[in-house]
Chain A
């Protein structure tokens, strides 16, 4: 094993709980109505597995994810912080950085949660799809009621407490005809760091409303309009899709790989202690071709030994073959680094595949729109 082909582990996704209090129509998680919980007694073992391996790095981010993390009590995260501090004190004193994150629907955020987030120094991402009519068309409680009002209450609580956050908006077809409404909503609500996740066909969500040439054309128009509105106001909104491309151009760096296809850049652990690498979306998903995608349980297997398993070898072989296809076929490779296995699997049934609908929405179209806009500005400047 050549350790330069792995890691370093920069992201450990832990499924604190599988339960979500919402039942969004596009969600890919199969067990979101069940209350499986990650036992914090497993935390020392998890950290041991990471730091005994040759894959660890100087900065570790731990998102509590794959379920609504705030359906657990505040005390859970107080305890998690204590576990982390106790198990990694020496490493942190020597400069290793470990931080925690949550991605939340914000419906449960109140003053107590705000205090918990602050004292545990947890970074926050909020999932909000836009104005009420767009958001509530998919993000609903199990009784059918929309969640927008409570999400906005949570956002205002974060703002009142001075807690910074980013937002992720899942773009469905409803949003595409309303770029102005989307832009004005985000601007006026003070939501200034935004990522658009275009609805994907994934997991138990077998069909997406965002497929086909018509939708791609609509998304181009949407992004163009969003850019122009943002530009007119002096770019108050940092849109991830443009920012990450701008950053790469700015420093003259392109990608050979990305975190989702490089083993042990990401480690994902489910509530039972089973772990996987590559995309977090692959964790504990049962498939005909690859089984569960899991490499083993923390109790039984080290991260290094997991690379010797047949399951890992097949995943790695197909992932590499798929990346090679992308590299030989796609002009956008440097901005993408070879795509993501979950999208390849859900769209093509194998990791050994190249272009996906998801990569057109997440990479190709944003790059095209950004370059068009810069070329227009360039022509005007000269």
Chain B
């Protein structure tokens, strides 16, 4: 790789951080309250969530969470959906995990 000074590395990391933030904003959205599925979710009793050991729906956090899990690779960071028909590949970093058919 090209030689990198610490200063240029710091600048690159800062630029990467800006890119990640803008990417998150481009990738994520809030639930659309007019959507029929979202209305069903809002009606679910909080007890049903706690039975699952899951938090009930919340308002989105101020800082976007890492672009993981979401959809994409399930289970974030490397454990993903898997690519089609058996290809595993990926569950990392938001990939829905899965190369198909593997």
Contact = CB atoms under 8 A, between A and B. Distances in A.
A binds B: yes
A199 B59 CA distance: 36
Contacts of B32: 254, 334
Contact of A4 (B26, B37, B47, B94): B26
Contact of B101 (A27, A262, A279): A27
A123 B83 CA distance: 16
Contact of A335 (B30, B67, B71, B90): B71
A256 B90 contact: no
Question: How would you classify the secondary structure of chain A's contact residues: helix, strand, loop or mixed?
Answer: mixed
Given A250-B54, A255-B70, A260-B95, A371 B41 contact: yes
A299 to B, nearest CB: 15
A120 interface: no
A26 interface: yes
A197 B84 contact: yes
B13, B26, B30, B100: most-surrounded residue (chain A CB, <10 A): B100
Interface stretch (A93-101, A111-119, A304-312, A313-321): A93-101
A257 B26 contact: yes
Contacts of B80: 11, 195
Contacts of A90: 4, 6, 9
Q: How large is the interface on B (under 10, 10 to 19, 20 to 34, 35 or more residues)?
A: 35 or more
B97 A240 contact: yes
Interface in B21-57: 22-23, 25-32, 35-38, 40-41, 43-45, 47-49, 51-57
Interface in A50-79: 51-52, 54-59, 61, 63, 65-66
B13, B54, B81, B89: most-surrounded residue (chain A CB, <10 A): B89
B81 to A, nearest CB: 6
B101 A202 contact: yes
B9 A94 contact: yes
A107 interface: no
A243 B75 contact: yes
B92 A254 contact: no
A200 interface: yes
A170 B85 contact: yes
Nearest to B28: A253
B16 A58 contact: yes
A56 B16 contact: yes
A99 B77 contact: yes
A213 interface: no
A348 to B, nearest CB: 15
A200 B80 CA distance: 17
A367 B66 CA distance: 22
A244 B53 contact: no
A362 interface: yes
Contact of B10 (A94, A197, A253): A94
B97 A195 contact: yes
Interface string B59-78: 11100111101111111011
B48 A381 contact: yes
B37 A48 contact: no
B83 A382 contact: no
B27 A281 contact: no
Contacts of B88: 63, 65, 103-104, 125-127, 168
B58 A168 contact: no
A203 interface: yes
A345 B67 CA distance: 26
Given A8-B19, A28-B100, A378-B44, A202 B78 contact: no
Cβ-closest 7 pairs across A and B: A103-B88, A61-B92, A10-B93, A240-B74, A381-B47, A4-B22, A378-B45
Given A101-B90, A168-B82, A197-B99, 19 more contacts: A4-B26, A5-B26, A48-B1, A57-B16, A63-B89, A88-B1, A96-B13, A99-B78, A103-B89, A125-B91, A195-B74, A195-B82, A265-B72, A280-B83, A281-B100, A334-B38, A337-B27, A374-B44, A378-B48
